[in-house]
Amino acid sequence: MPIITLTTDFGEKDHYAGAIKGAIYSEFPDAKIVDISHSVSPFNSAEAAYIIQNAYSSFPKGSIHVIGIDSEINPENQHIALELDDHYFICANNGIMSMITNEIAPSKIVEINIHNKIETSFPVLDIFVKVACHIARGGTLEVIGKTIDKIKPIKNLVPYINDEQTQIIGSIIYIDNYGNVVTNIKKNFFEKIQKGREYEVSARNYKFKKIHNKYSDIVNFEIPEDKRNDEGRGLVVFNSSDYIEIAIYKSNNQSVGSASNLMGLYLRDTVTINFLN
């Protein structure tokens, strides 16, 4: 039986997430529902895109991913369903899927057109649930939509490279639960431009000359533990999703602080990499 995942900006306080689950079970009692996150920043498509890109592939093939971010339908924000990498995605056509489709081409995209049969002010509940349950029962995308060939991109998703290829200008697309800030610069993209050159990573007034492969790379384990003072040190790392991330070692907003609050780094802020030779 296919899994149906939920990713929204609804939070946990209100009834929205619970109502969606109830509607799925009412329509498809054998459903298996998994929450990916209900804590996406409100209307933040880039943040949702990052979460979905890094979560969906851990699920079995055939899983159905409902993404409830900025989903109110209007002439510039239609609803779509995609088949991609043997998974299904249901969301608004607002750029959420462009991070994944930049790397993997969808095998099918449809613009959902069942709205004339359903009056709704809560499309995730009334439209996305019906589409998800239709797919879970073995239904095809063509029944619920018309085929289209492209989707909207998210602006500034791809880092900028200057003509001389001596500089990459990226931006912060996600801040995680630890306050680490994730850029839109992936490891393979960086290495393709770097070509072995030395570099300097700059964010506001902070500069770093090395990107680590894991957080503990900054620790000198030959020094006795009580003399290290590593907690609270800033670093740059290729995170588990292979994005360049600026972090604080063992960050904690209640004690040593985090990259976001200590360095004043927020969503959409610029991060620059200058190549030095």
pLDDT at residue number 134 = 96
pLDDT at residue number 221 = 79
pLDDT at residue number 222 = 74
108-140 residue pLDDT tens: 999 999 877 777 779 899 999 999 999 999 999
pLDDT at residue number 228 = 67
How does DSSP assign the chain, residue by residue?
Answer: --EEEEEES-TTTSSHHHHHHHHHHHH-TT-EEEEEES-PPTT-HHHHHHHHHHHGGGSPTT-EEEEESS---BTTB-EEEEEETTEEEEEESSSTTHHHHTTS--SEEEEE--GGG---S-HIIIIIHHHHHHHHTT--GGGTEEE-S--PPPTT-SPEE-TTS-EEEEEEEEE-TT--EEEEEEHHHHHHHHTT--EEEEETTEEES-EESSGGGG--TTS-GGG---TT-EEEEE-TTSEEEEEETT-BTTTTB-HHHHHT--TT-EEEEEE--
pLDDT at residue number 75 = 85
169 to each of 151, 193, 195, how far by Cα in Å? 25, 12, 17
The answer to whether 184 and 268 are in contact (CB under 8 A) is: no
- What residue has token string 């620790």? 219
d(CA 53, CA 98): 10
pTM for this entry: 0.89
Low-confidence residues in the chain, pLDDT < 70: 156, 228, 230
d(CA 270, CA 38): 27
